[in-house]
Structure 1
Amino acid sequence: MLPVVLLAAGCQESDFDLDTFDSTSAEADIRYCRFLDPSMLKVEADTLLQVFSENIEVSVSIDADLTDITPYFVLNDGASIFMQGEDGEWNVPADGVSRDFSAGPLEYMVVSPNGKSHHLYTLGFNCREVATDFHFEYSELKNSNPSARPNYYIWKEFDASGDYRFTWATGNAGYSMSRGSALPEDYPTSPCEGVNSGKGVKLTTCSTGPFGERLGMPIAAGNIFLGEFDVSNALIDACASTLFGVPFSSKPLKLRGYMSYKPALDFRGPDNKPVENMADSCDIYAVLYRNVDSRGQSIMLNGHDIMSSPNIVAMARIDDKLAAGTDGEWEYFEVGFDYETYGNNLNMDILKEYGYNLAFVASSSRGGAEFYGAVGSVLRLDEVEIVCDVVDDTEDVQVPSTQSDRKF
């Protein structure tokens, strides 16, 4: 069961007209980012980077000069891209313009050919290993339409020195697309009080209303993960719209942290009818997988294959008992990475070159991919950590001889 948030979650008949809505319409979007210097990238295949989210993250090498990066953009036909000028107006052409990204992500505005549609993006570069301790302390309000009020939360992680590390992916951007009138606290992913002090993150399974029910997608599980949302694919293939993982160069050993889960009682299926003798459960897991296919092409696992791909090397996942609930009380969890089940050796040379991706995923309904769940189920997370080993350069991690000898 894959935890998936329906990006068109929680809309109401007054918010969307199913008969006239065109899910392929994208007049003011960035389709690709292009970089002329492949040596600065952790994964050289990303010189032409397909854009799935309005929060664009690019992993670059440790010695990349973040003060002088020149991105190029492929937009929808006739669209234009701008950055803010000194007067605060979005009137400075931005394609192929060098900028200083050392302080964190910068904003870009894409304008449709007729000037009526605007889409705000952020572009950031990360030259460090992705953080492995997640605190969920810093959230901010955002809206991809700068002329509208900010109406959903995004999360960023910073290190102890206050330096930016990365931005989490959630389903909130899609929820905004379908229900722009919702309050930020009513979105599937929102802030909450942490386990001790500070903040955590709350994931709530929500109803998609009449619109979602007509599509056979009556519930939306709240989630948060390392990766990207392909918002444009949300109404076509919800599973394919969740892209999991980021390049990683350490060997993960354990997944641990604090969780609180209270499932709601009215468990339903994709036909929005009650399912007898079934109860909702949450999901928290991490996956290490090879990030190229057999042709050497860069890949990201998605909601269809994150549990079944032959590229998986190891996985850590909470057990069924803990996933069933903690009666709303905070509990500590710790689970090791299983390197034996999947039959793939972990190649240390490939690992050092960021040839694997690490995915972390949490969802308020484990059956969300098939639209099974209970509206009102709530999962809270805080102080999550992926414990890693110091990589030994001299040998690979071998699976038992009864497993496949396939190397990645």
Structure 2
Amino acid sequence: MKRYFYTLPLLAATLTLSSCFKEEPLNSECDITHVSLHTDNPLATFYQLSDTARDVLSTDSLISFEVRRDHEADLSLLTPTLQLTPGAKAVMTGSEVDNATGGKWYYQVVSEDGHWHRNYTVEVRPMARMTNDTVRFDFEHYELEPKGHYYVWHILRNDGSSAGDWANGNPGFSLSMGSAKPDEYPTAPLADGYDGAAVKLTTRSTGPFGAMVNKRIAAGNLFIGTFDMASALTDAMKATHFGQVFDRQPMKLTGYYTYQPGTTFQDPKGNTVADRTDQAAIYAVLYRNHDDQGNAVTLYGDNVKTSPQIVAIADMGMVKPTKEWTPFSIDFNYLSDIDLDLLKQRGYSLTIVFSSSADGDQFEGAIGSTLCVDKVRLVCKKEQ
């Protein structure tokens, strides 16, 4: 299990010097870092060649692969190939495979020093095309993560199974403010929303540690994609991986919101910027998830609105402050035509993004800015 240590330069130098005089301890990490699946004819089973392999984030315990509903391979013949952190060992503890419903392989990974272990599930799931013209996001399905530090949200299908998770920056906030209570994190549930539960996004101070590295604020955010905690300190822009595969043509993003900006806008060094008022962000992006050479593409914080892979954007722009639940409706602006064949081959990905501070990724904003969102709908083009 990955653990992160933050020390002053003097302590770091002391530890470096002491390592010259004693043996390096055995590795205590017990992570799967990469999984691949082999089949003789991958395009008869998977939608894209890149779908056969997956990097694994340090926070992942469920590793999912999607195959064609009419796949030709015998899924029982698939054997996951695992890459592990140095010295770790993996043992398969069970499996269950059905060609119609998919398969699961269960692993326990034990660290080199033998003191730590993690349980993983590798899942293969046959996927049919989405049939609904309107995708609903009501933020009712949330829970505390396994350690109980902060909340996570799930996106569910009509049959109740998980279609993935909403990601947010709470894992990064935990590195600097680990003593915070779950409701004090930037992204938290709001029990009394527009209709049932909503999500509450608040720009928070990251405390003394954040001040040391000029990352003094953490904007409340929620987005479709994944958050890579390993990159949160070294390259914050690469920590946010935007998008999941989407096989319909989105036309409009709607929902309800409230927004109140914080009183004092500050730059990354903590200086007050007197003539600036914080702004929230509400937008969605549809993009091609492979380049012209067939390489898989993911958008990050530094190109989520500028990548040449982008096909359409729905951006609210100015999010007017309001204490009352207020409806919003944003049309998608298409920069190029949709390739319907590519759409059927799951060649597009979509993200929806909410943030209490639009420039929070630059660590600029106002502590206390609060954006609440509920009853979000993604309206897609009806197919004949």
TM-score range (shorter-chain normalised) is 0.7 to 0.9
Is 1:17 aligned to residue 7 of structure 2?
yes
Is 1:138 aligned to residue 134 of structure 2?
no
Point out the more displaced range, 114-123 or 271-280: 114-123
Secondary structure at the residue paired with 1:345?
coil
Q: TM-score, normalised by structure 2?
A: 0.82
Question: How far is the alpha carbon of 1:67 from its aligned partner?
Answer: 8.8
Alignment of 1:97-108 (within 5 A): 98-99=95-96
Is 1:77 aligned to residue 86 of structure 2?
yes
- Give the structure with the higher percent strand: 2
Secondary structure at the residue paired with 1:94?
strand
Determine the structure 1 residue equivalent to 2:48.
Answer: 43
Separation in structure 2 between the aligned mates of residue 42 and residue 190 of structure 1, nearest angstrom: 35
Alignment of 1:306-385 (within 5 A): 306-320=304-318, 323-326=319-322, 328-339=323-334, 342=335, 344-385=336-377
Mark the CA change 1:389 to 1:212 in structure 2 (over 3 Å): closer, same or farther.
same
Question: How far is the alpha carbon of 1:189 from its aligned partner?
Answer: 1.1
Separation in structure 2 between the aligned mates of residue 153 and residue 109 of structure 1, nearest angstrom: 25
Mark the CA change 1:137 to 1:354 in structure 2 (over 3 Å): closer, same or farther.
same
Question: How far is the alpha carbon of 1:181 from its aligned partner?
Answer: 2.7
Separation in structure 2 between the aligned mates of residue 53 and residue 334 of structure 1, nearest angstrom: 36
Contact 1:263 1:324 (8 Å CA) reproduced: no
Alignment of 1:5-404 (within 5 A): 16-19=6-9, 27-37=29-39, 38=42, 39-52=44-57, 54-55=59-60, 56-63=63-70, 70-81=79-90, 93-94=91-92, 98-99=95-96, 109-119=108-118, 127-128=127-128, 132-143=135-146, 149-320=147-318, 323-326=319-322, 328-339=323-334, 342=335, 344-391=336-383
Separation in structure 2 between the aligned mates of residue 98 and residue 314 of structure 1, nearest angstrom: 41
Residue by residue over 1:135-176, the C-alpha shift from the partner in whole angstroms, topping out at 9 and shown as x without a partner, is 111111113xxxxx4222111122344333222211222333
Residue by residue over 1:320-345, the C-alpha shift from the partner in whole angstroms, topping out at 9 and shown as x without a partner, is 1xx1421x321111010001xx3x33
Structure 2 unmatched ranges of 5 or more: 16-26
Contact 2:95 2:105 (8 Å CA) reproduced: no
Mark the CA change 1:263 to 1:371 in structure 2 (over 3 Å): closer, same or farther.
same
Residue by residue over 1:22-66, the C-alpha shift from the partner in whole angstroms, topping out at 9 and shown as x without a partner, is 9xx982322111112434433331212112352344333234699
Letter in 1 for 2:325: W
Secondary structure at the residue paired with 1:98?
strand
Give the total of aligned pairs: 355
Secondary structure at the residue paired with 2:174?
helix
Mark the CA change 1:270 to 1:107 in structure 2 (over 3 Å): closer, same or farther.
farther
Contact 1:251 1:391 (8 Å CA) reproduced: no
Mark the CA change 1:312 to 1:104 in structure 2 (over 3 Å): closer, same or farther.
same
Separation in structure 2 between the aligned mates of residue 77 and residue 161 of structure 1, nearest angstrom: 39
Contact 2:88 2:110 (8 Å CA) reproduced: yes
Secondary structure at the residue paired with 1:330?
strand
Secondary structure at the residue paired with 1:175?
helix
Secondary structure at the residue paired with 1:32?
strand
Separation in structure 2 between the aligned mates of residue 192 and residue 216 of structure 1, nearest angstrom: 30
Separation in structure 2 between the aligned mates of residue 270 and residue 26 of structure 1, nearest angstrom: 35
Q: TM-score, normalised by structure 1?
A: 0.78
Letter in 2 for 1:383: K
Question: How far is the alpha carbon of 1:389 from its aligned partner?
Answer: 0.6
Separation in structure 2 between the aligned mates of residue 310 and residue 240 of structure 1, nearest angstrom: 17
Letter in 1 for 2:376: V
Question: How far is the alpha carbon of 1:70 from its aligned partner?
Answer: 4.6
Residue by residue over 1:117-149, the C-alpha shift from the partner in whole angstroms, topping out at 9 and shown as x without a partner, is 445656555525578211111111113xxxxx4
Contact 2:52 2:65 (8 Å CA) reproduced: no
Determine the structure 2 residue equivalent to 1:406.
Answer: none
Contact 2:238 2:302 (8 Å CA) reproduced: yes
Separation in structure 2 between the aligned mates of residue 227 and residue 315 of structure 1, nearest angstrom: 16
Mark the CA change 1:30 to 1:352 in structure 2 (over 3 Å): closer, same or farther.
same
Contact 1:250 1:389 (8 Å CA) reproduced: yes
Residue by residue over 1:181-239, the C-alpha shift from the partner in whole angstroms, topping out at 9 and shown as x without a partner, is 32111111111125343211111111111211221211111111111112211111000
RMSD: 3.1
Name which one, 1 or 2, has greater alpha-carbon Rg: 2
Letter in 2 for 1:46: D
Structure 1 unmatched ranges of 5 or more: 1-7, 82-92, 144-148, 393-408
Higher relative contact order (CA 8 A, sep 6+): 1
Letter in 1 for 2:373: L
Secondary structure at the residue paired with 1:60?
strand
Letter in 2 for 1:111: V
Percent identity, aligned pairs only, is 38
